[in-house]
Structure 1
Amino acid sequence: MISVGIDVSKGKSTVCIMKPCGEILESPFDIGHTADELDSLISLIKSFDEETRVVMEDTGHYHLPVATYLSSHNIFVCCVNALRMKKFCSQSIRRAKTDKIDSIKIASFGITYWNELVKAYPSNVIYDELKFLARQYYQVTGMLVKSKVNFSNLLDQVMPKINDVLSNQGENHKLTEFVSRYIHFQNILDMGEMKFTSDYCKWAKKKGYRLNERKAAEILALAQNGIPTLPNSQSVKIAVSEAVKLIHSIEESRNTILAQMQDLCNTLPEYSVVKEMDCIGDTLAPRIIAEIGDVRRFKNKHSLIAYAGIDAPPYQSGAFHASERHISKRGNSYLRKTGYEIMQSLIKHKPADNAVYDFIQKKRSEGKCGKEAMIAGLNKFLRVYYGKVMEFYSEH
């Protein structure tokens, strides 16, 4: 048996080819991530008259060109979890680290755990696209949160407490559109009561909001008693207008990404099954599918739970058996985040005859705090998800 250890980095990799007992067939050498150089590596691997397996670290996305290209040429490729590989490579006392040393250690890992090596699962292109879009969705959502925090800080300086008056309107854009129109409390005061009330009602009618003269009176009273800390200047007007434009632009980008995720999910058989589950709509369904991927790659429901990082591994030593264990968090943090949002949705809507919601309530009645009960509910949800989707595939 021959182990090919590949230490992957950006744009290039270092390769070491090893046999059992530490016999090195090819000393570490560098290859670029190009078709020509990978073809030469494939020719070298196939030249050996023994079973050969390629081992590399799962580095997020740097390893994907190499793993994909080698797999497409019928080469056995195993992508090892980065944490497991790090712990294996850090056993040396001196802790020397270079690309050449790492490639030797990775090849040694392949020899040591030869019988445990699992061939990289050929993922469906649609699931890959969904996962990619999901990451972009979270990036854009993070930008949106920062933009809204900045906008809130601006409001405290030009229209203090205006969000308290307009926060219960049930319209996501009403506050930003209102601020974009009036910019500063001083502009409202300069209009006077009658003109502002008339203008506000006309604007609300045009935008499709409720006509409410009492709300206009509340805003006017707030403007009269408020103390803005920024002047009603051209610079402030530009800053506020651009902050509103930025929020709307990011929201549009996020909605576009989500719409594409929904279109991709419509091509997947399990999408209808997932959407039929309580409190999972057009927003959460594509995200949970994107993070779980093809559920058929998990050998059982426990593997899916471990992938989410909400399993509690046993701990026993001698006569000691730990009864209280924390979740491992060794898994997909985005899956935990999305699952937690699903649990929040269940608690908010309280669906009847729902096994997951009933399980959360049961855990709460047993004295579990809110987060502990929700994590237990997420564990239950993933088991239900796995069972329903696998049943659907078995029938179709």
Structure 2
Amino acid sequence: MILVGIDIGKNSHFFCVLNRDDGEVLVQPTCFKNNQNGFTLLLQVLAPYGKASVLIGMDTGHYHFALLRYLLSKEFINPIATDMPRRMQGGISKNNKLDTLTICDVLFSSNHKKSYRITKIDKFEYYEQRQLTRHHHNLKEELNFYANRLQKCIDLVLPEFNSLFKSKYGTVYMNIF
């Protein structure tokens, strides 16, 4: 089994390749861009190992979506998203090259319970929709929170202000305010 650890970044990612059987580092931590050319480079490096023998792990965050979608479209079965392996092992500072090895360690080790989750190919679209729905809900809650704070300030400073208008936060209300 070949382990691939990918440390995700905004503009670029790092990956390394390890042989699970003997722990040998087959490909030292290498940088690739978060775009089509970078993804193609990654697949070129992984091509000699065959898809069936490759287990890919990557850290989570929203920057991994494009790469995950690409890997799924190229029929890599179940890339694994690891949950902050650096924190699990007590690391504080960010080191892209070492993080790739840590991700491989998380894939290899049986000491960590629920340290990763397998991404199902047929569920990825639902995952994106769920993320958008959660984000929409959070934005609505945040808007409500700030509207309440604004209303509190208006009530304290100008208690009679609201009685002058039929609708709170309308165009005239906000322009006068």
Band of TM-score, shorter chain: 0.7 to 0.9
Partner amino acid, structure 2, of 1:99: N
Deviation (angstroms), 1:88: 4.1
Q: Percent identity?
A: 16
RMSD, matched Cα: 3.1
Q: Secondary structure at the match of 1:63?
A: helix
Deviation (angstroms), 1:40: 2.0
Q: Which has the higher contact order (CA 8 A, sep 6+)?
A: 2
- Alignment TM-score, normalising by the size of structure 1: 0.37
Name the residue aligned to 1:169. Answer: none
Matched, 1:143 2:143: yes
Cα distance in 2 for residues equivalent to 1:69 and 1:88:
27
Name the residue aligned to 1:321. Answer: none
1:126-181: CA deviation from partner (whole Å, max 9, x where unpaired) = 55224313312322321222122212321233226x9xxxxxxxxxxxxx5x4425
Deviation (angstroms), 1:13: 0.6
The partner residue of 2:106 within 102, 105, 109 is: 109
Deviation (angstroms), 1:124: 5.2
1:43-192 → structure 2 map (5 Å cutoff) = 43-49=44-50, 51-59=53-61, 61-76=62-77, 77-82=79-84, 85-90=85-90, 97-113=94-110, 119-122=118-121, 123=123, 125-126=125-126, 128-159=128-159, 178-180=163-165
Deviation (angstroms), 1:244: 9.2
Cα distance in 2 for residues equivalent to 1:45 and 1:143:
46
Cα distance in 2 for residues equivalent to 1:137 and 1:17:
39
1:245-260 → structure 2 map (5 Å cutoff) = none
Deviation (angstroms), 1:24: 0.7
Partner amino acid, structure 1, of 2:128: D
Q: Which has the larger radius of gyration?
A: 1
Q: Secondary structure at the match of 2:118?
A: coil
Partner amino acid, structure 2, of 1:128: E
Deviation (angstroms), 1:112: 2.5
Gaps of 5+ in 1: 163-175, 184-239, 246-396
Cα distance in 2 for residues equivalent to 1:107 and 1:182:
58
Q: Secondary structure at the match of 1:22?
A: coil
- Alignment TM-score, normalising by the size of structure 2: 0.77
CA distance 1:182–1:34, change in 2 (3 Å): closer
Cα distance in 1 for residues equivalent to 2:67 and 2:37:
12
Q: Secondary structure at the match of 2:5?
A: strand
Q: Would you tell me which structure has more strand in proportion to its own residues? A: 2
1:208-227 → structure 2 map (5 Å cutoff) = none
Partner amino acid, structure 2, of 1:18: L
Partner amino acid, structure 1, of 2:98: I
1:83-115: CA deviation from partner (whole Å, max 9, x where unpaired) = xx2344337xxx6641111111112222324xx
Cα distance in 2 for residues equivalent to 1:150 and 1:96:
39
Paired residues in the alignment total 166
Name the residue aligned to 1:373. Answer: none
Cα distance in 2 for residues equivalent to 1:158 and 1:96:
49
Deviation (angstroms), 1:45: 1.2
Q: Would you tell me which structure has more helix in proportion to its own residues? A: 1
Matched, 1:241 2:136: no
